[in-house]
Amino acid sequence: MADAPVGRRIVVGLLGLGVLGVAFGARAANGIAELMAPIEERDPTGLTGLIPAAGGFRYYSISGGEPLRTPQDYRLTVGGLVERPRTYTYADLAALPRTRMVRDFQCVTGWRVPSVPWSGVRLSDLLDAAGVAPAARALACTSFDGADTESLTLDQARRPDVIVALGMYGKPLTRAHGGPVRLYVAPMYGYKSLKWLSGITLTDRVVPGFWEHNGYDVDGWVGRSNGRGDAPTS
Ligand SMILES: Nc1nc2c(c(=O)[nH]1)N[C@H]1C(S)=C(S)[C@@H](COP(=O)(O)O)O[C@H]1N2
Ligand SMILES: [Mo]
């Protein structure tokens, strides 16, 4: 876990971009963010190997590698404040109704990949199946990289554009992009889309995750959070 000064540096950097947005307009600020991205990215990801990847994506891994689960040994547990805790296999998830959407993918550091086709299971379907207890207010999600964590409020998690993703670009999700299963939170910055998803625990309050401990907003809305003036994702 990085310490507080790192987090503050990021916040200051992002606020600076917000000021530029006022002076030059949001488009210019986006362009500047692109130029500055390599510097910005080094801050939150002191632990990270950043590799520019195909199609404008950058691979992120705070654990410094790509953990491996095959579809055969993959498991997703749903527990905490639920009536029916459950462990899903990959085959269980693949058999559930599939949601598809084409949306931009945007990292808070400025890079954006337009019109990415995603497919997966609505998180709300898994929550309904689990029977969320009345005391539950939020979700704490874990990754089988053993490092990254993310939170969502229950209301955010129930949105129809928040999925447990199994596919990207019409193919099974690749290992580098968080396969076999990752979160995909369409309206929020990329850090909310936890890769290599392994667990969902219903909690009575928001438990800030890795990126929030490193200075990012718990609510990661594109264009509204983290002091950025990005256009909303399409
Ligand atoms: N497990 C894990 N999930 C993660 C990250 C990470 O480092 N580890 N990085 C996040 C960030 S900051 C972004 S922008 C996206 C990047 O997704 P990609 O690696 O598929 O491009 O993954 C998010 N999910
Ligand atoms: Mo990111």
Kindly report, residue by residue over 154-167, the tens digit of the pLDDT. Answer: 999 999 999 999 99
Q: Is the pLDDT of residue 232 over 90?
A: no
Alpha helix positions (H), 68-208: 90-94, 123-130, 154-157
Distance, in Å, from the CA atom of 78 to the CA atom of 202, rounded to the nearest integer, reads: 8
The angle at the Cα of 94, spanning 89 to 99, to the nearest 5 degrees, equals: 135
pTM value? Answer: 0.81
pLDDT band at 54 (very low <50, low <70, confident <90, very high): low
Ligand 1, atom 11, lies closest to the CA of 191
CA distances from 154 to 5, 134, 170, 220 (A): 30, 11, 29, 14
Ligand 1, atom 8, lies closest to the CA of 61
Cβ atoms of 177 and 195 closer than 8 Å: yes
Ramachandran quadrant class, 211 (left: phi over 0; alpha: psi -120 to 50; beta: rest): alpha
**What is the tens place of the pLDDT at every residue in 108-140?**
988 899 999 999 999 999 999 999 999 999 999
Ligand 1, atom 18, lies closest to the CA of 59
pLDDT band at 19 (very low <50, low <70, confident <90, very high): very low
* d(CA 192, ligand 2 centre) in Å: 8
DSSP 71: T
* Interval 207-219 mean pLDDT: 93
| Ligand 1 lined by 210 (C-beta under 6 Å) | no
* Interval 201-222 mean pLDDT: 94
**What is the tens place of the pLDDT at every residue in 58-74?**
888 998 889 999 999 99
Q: Is the pLDDT of residue 32 over 70?
A: no
**Averaged pLDDT of the chain:** 82
Measure CA 92 to chain center.
22
